[in-house]
Amino acid sequence: MRQVDLSGVDLNLLKLFEALVRERSVTRAGLRLGLSQPAASRALARLRTMLGDRLVVRGKAGLELTPRGGALAERVTRLLDDARGIVAPAVFEPASATGRITIAAHDHLSLVVLAGLIARFEQRAPALSLHIAQPAGDNVRLVEEGGADLALGMFGSLPGSLHRRSLYADRFVCVVRSGHPGVAGGLGLEQYVALRHVTVTISGVGESPVDVALSALGLTRHVALRVPHFIAGAMLVAESDMILTLPGRLARRLADTLPLTLLELPLQVAPLAPAMIWHERVHGDPAHIWVRQQLVDIVASFV
């Protein structure tokens, strides 16, 4: 291999390349690094000269990697991760910590779990920022690719590079608007199936546990409305005669602010078991260890 004199190489430009791979925009990559758009463009020009390739070119959906850029992307990420690990402090002091922790979670777990985490950040790590990432299906790929430090949700099999820890167990319940005429005498299975249902579709993959349980009994329900968010579904149920089946802990939170009545689900459905997942690259990072422990402590209070 040809020897390269690193004294003339600006390795900081590799941070720009990593940001370009993630953001696919010179402007957004610059913002990520605290650079103005002109400064980021000048840095990109130096990066191209240093590596002898254009690396990124304009495409229909933003910047696209050239073949050499694609070949270098993972290697540069590993190199920078290793460098961060070398210079990272051996201890983590929440009171003086800065930076950002990114967590991917849908509205259900954001409301149930992350409200407590925000309070702990305010009290114990006030300069540490919390960012809730835009959900991407089950968020596994988002964590794999470094778009999120953690993800909360229900997960199936995971790649070997990811860690998992269960958080708590929850059961499904039903909510209807207060004064709903169809459940005055209670909610039996016959009434449940006869009602018009709102269902929440998050990933769009597979049947819901409720429909699987109904199918085992030879029954189906009429899904009148599908929405991507539990909170939106609950708000629509509060103003209609439809019914929504959702996790009990979330249902109780929503019933505190919306005119909803909680009802037992007249059907045996396996409980939910939310978990958190994270990548091996942050497994030993003191800041991430602290955040994960905060989440464990928060859910330990759930009954």
Q: Are 173 and 245 in contact (CB under 8 A)?
A: yes
The per-residue pLDDT for 303 is 62
Name residues whose C-beta falls within 8 Å of residue 11's C-beta, 6 or more positions apart in sequence: none
| Identity at 239, one-letter amino acid code | E
What integer pLDDT is reported at residue 90 of this predicted model? Answer: 67
What integer pLDDT is reported at residue 89 of this predicted model?
Answer: 63
The 8-class DSSP code of residue 275 comes to E
pLDDT at 88: 67
pLDDT at 220: 94
* Contact indicator for 21, 73 with CB cutoff of 8 Å: yes
DSSP 66-114: -HHHHHHHHHHHHHHHHHHHHHS-SS--GGG--EEEEEE--HHHIIIII
Alpha carbon distance 76, 146 (integer Å): 13
Q: Which domains does the chain show, CATH number per domain?
A: 8-87 (1.10.10.10), 94-168+274-300 (3.40.190.10), 172-264 (3.40.190.10)
Mean pLDDT, consecutive 10-residue stretches, the chain (303 aa), reads: 70 91 92 91 93 92 91 92 78 89 89 90 93 82 91 91 94 95 88 94 72 94 92 95 95 94 94 94 92 94 76
Amino acid at 30: G
Torsion angle of the four alpha carbons 154, 81, 131, 140, in this order, in degrees rounded to the nearest 10: -20
Looking at residue 237, what is its pLDDT? Answer: 96
CA 208 to chain centre: 20
Cross-strand pairs, 57: 64
Q: Following CA atoms 160, 164, 170, 172 in sequence, which dihedral angle do they give, to the nearest 10 degrees? A: -30
